[in-house]
């Protein structure tokens, strides 16, 4: 009996000791993790740099290829697109990226054994993909300006009612608001500090962010600075106006969502069906690719799909 009690006491003592050691170990580990979060060691600082070097291999490839086109004069529309999309790429970098994407899609087509005429189509699609992505990015960025303008106008109006000057209110917006409007207002403050007139600075902002609501706000602010008046009240009025326009746009997007989905389904359905037949039953679909009548049918089908897409887009696009 005494031996059982002794074994039980030893077991309890050993378990308590192990428990205390584990608790102290976990606590020290937690404290060390907290310290590393706020004061990272030099070894931990080098890790992100190594990752950046690995991730920048593709960027270096683009840069080396872009050096070939450094002295090439690109179209102004490309520079304008990069500027409005907020991209840090130069025109030659963007052109090199398009060439690499085109070569990548062409190589993928060769690996999949696609016929040369279809592979040429893939090459052109790969060349167009970066521009399509950049246009989509520009569209989202300019649409986001409407939502930011509501916050910016409210912040500026409240700041001016609290005693801030117009330049101080814009400086506050530049610090608090993220891209795209925040950096633009910071740029306005820097250029105005160098002696550039606000009219010229705001005109440059309109070129970088061609948004209708922003243009109305800029014209109203410039007119008020010439004629005088209560700027805070004007900003609040424009805030309410833009808020109403944004609400109407959201309602229109909801009402036209079915039409947009129908346009995608109607457009991609024949294309998907053709690819399915070409992959599943190649002998059945081969006359469409080898006979002149099949070429004509494919051409007429492509033209009809494009016309249908344009018509549907015209129907569902409503200007506000």
pLDDT at 124 (0 to 100): 92
pLDDT at 151 (0 to 100): 93
Tell me if residue 175 falls in helix, strand or coil: helix
CA dist., res. 61 & res. 146, Å (int): 37
51 found inside a domain: no
Residues 308 and 267: beta-carbon distance below 8 Å: yes
Single residue among 88, 109, 139 that ends a domain in this structure: 139
- What pLDDT digit, counting tens, does each position of 251-295 carry? 988 888 888 898 889 899 998 898 888 888 888 888 888 888 988
- Higher per-residue confidence, 52 vs 258: 258
182 found inside a domain: yes
> Do residues 203 and 262 share a domain?
no
pLDDT range class, residue 115, cuts 50, 70, 90: confident
Q: For residue 37, give both structure tokens.
A: 């979060």
The alpha carbon of residue 19 and the mean position of all alpha carbons in its chain are separated, in whole angstroms, by 51
305 found inside a domain: yes
pLDDT range class, residue 1, cuts 50, 70, 90: low
Residues 168 and 159: beta-carbon distance below 8 Å: yes
pLDDT at 35 (0 to 100): 61
> Is the confidence at residue 211, as pLDDT, over 50?
yes
Closest by CA position to 144, among listed 176, 180, 175: 180
Single residue among 139, 166, 181 that ends a domain in this structure: 139
- What pLDDT digit, counting tens, does each position of 157-201 carry? 999 999 999 999 999 999 999 989 999 999 999 998 888 888 899
Averaged pLDDT, 145-159: 93
Task: Say what percent of the chain tops pLDDT 70.
Answer: 82
> Do residues 235 and 158 share a domain?
yes
> Do residues 241 and 171 share a domain?
yes
pLDDT range class, residue 304, cuts 50, 70, 90: very high
19 found inside a domain: no
pTM strictly above 0.85: no
> Do residues 241 and 311 share a domain?
no
CATH number at residue 237: 1.20.81.30
> Do residues 130 and 146 share a domain?
no
Q: For residue 33, give both structure tokens.
A: 């993790």
> Do residues 169 and 220 share a domain?
yes
> Do residues 131 and 217 share a domain?
no
Sign of the dihedral through C-alpha 222, 228, 229, 231 = positive
pLDDT at 48 (0 to 100): 45
> Do residues 129 and 154 share a domain?
no
> Do residues 222 and 282 share a domain?
no
36 found inside a domain: no
Secondary structure element (H or E) that encloses residue 114, with its range: none
pLDDT range class, residue 55, cuts 50, 70, 90: very low
Secondary structure element (H or E) that encloses residue 4, with its range: helix 2-38
> Is the confidence at residue 112, as pLDDT, over 90?
no
23 found inside a domain: no
pLDDT at 217 (0 to 100): 92
pLDDT at 288 (0 to 100): 86
Closest by CA position to 236, among listed 149, 178, 320, 177: 149
> Do residues 159 and 237 share a domain?
yes
Single residue among 187, 211, 245 that ends a domain in this structure: 245
Task: Say what percent of the chain tops pLDDT 90.
Answer: 32
- Higher per-residue confidence, 16 vs 252: 252
Torsion of CA 265, 271, 277, 282, to 10 degrees: -170
Distances from the Cα of 111 to the Cα of 107, 121, 281, angstroms: 6, 15, 20
Residue for token digits 């424009």? 238
pLDDT range class, residue 150, cuts 50, 70, 90: very high
Q: Residues 6 or more apart from 114 whose CB is under 8 A from it?
A: 122
- Higher per-residue confidence, 61 vs 213: 213
> Do residues 144 and 229 share a domain?
yes
> Number of structural domains, the chain?
3
CA dist., res. 147 & res. 21, Å (int): 55
8 found inside a domain: no
pLDDT at 59 (0 to 100): 75
CA dist., res. 261 & res. 267, Å (int): 10
Q: What's the mean pLDDT when you consider all of the chain?
A: 83
> Do residues 121 and 175 share a domain?
no
pLDDT at 12 (0 to 100): 65
Domain extent, residue 189, equals 140-245
2 found inside a domain: no
pLDDT at 182 (0 to 100): 92
């Amino acid at each position: 009996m005494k031996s059982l009690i002794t074994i039980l006491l030893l077991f309890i003592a050993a378990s308590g000791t192990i428990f205390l050691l584990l608790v102290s170990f976990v606590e020290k580990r937690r404290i060390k993790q907290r310290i590393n979060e706020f004061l990272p060691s030099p070894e931990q600082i080098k890790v992100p740099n190594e990752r950046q070097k690995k991730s920048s291999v593709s960027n270096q490839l683009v840069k080396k290829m872009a050096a070939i086109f450094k002295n090439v004069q690109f179209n102004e529309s490309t520079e304008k697109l990069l500027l409005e999309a907020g991209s840090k790429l130069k025109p030659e970098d963007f052109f090199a990226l398009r060439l690499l994407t085109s070569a990548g899609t062409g190589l993928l087509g060769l690996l999949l054994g696609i016929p040369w005429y279809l592979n040429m189509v893939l090459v052109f699609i790969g060349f167009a993909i970066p521009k399509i992505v950049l246009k989509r990015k520009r569209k989202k960025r300019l649409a986001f300006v409407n939502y930011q303008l509501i916050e910016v106008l409210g912040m500026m109006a409240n700041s001016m009612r609290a005693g801030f000057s117009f330049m101080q209110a814009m400086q506050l917006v530049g610090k608090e608001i993220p891209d795209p409007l925040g950096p633009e207002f910071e740029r306005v403050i820097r250029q105005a500090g160098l002696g550039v007139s606000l009219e010229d600075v705001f005109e440059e902002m309109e070129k970088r962010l061609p948004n209708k609501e922003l243009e109305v706000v800029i014209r109203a602010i410039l007119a008020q600075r010439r004629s005088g008046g209560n700027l805070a009240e004007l900003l609040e009025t424009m805030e309410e106006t833009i808020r109403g326009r944004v609400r109407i746009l959201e309602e229109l997007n909801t009402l036209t969502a079915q039409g947009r989905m129908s346009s995608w389904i109607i457009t991609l359905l024949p294309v998907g069906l053709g690819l399915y037949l070409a992959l599943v039953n190649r002998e059945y679909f081969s006359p469409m690719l080898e006979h002149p009548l099949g070429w004509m049918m494919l051409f007429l089908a492509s033209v009809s799909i494009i016309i249908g897409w344009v018509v549907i887009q015209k129907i569902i696009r409503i200007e506000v």
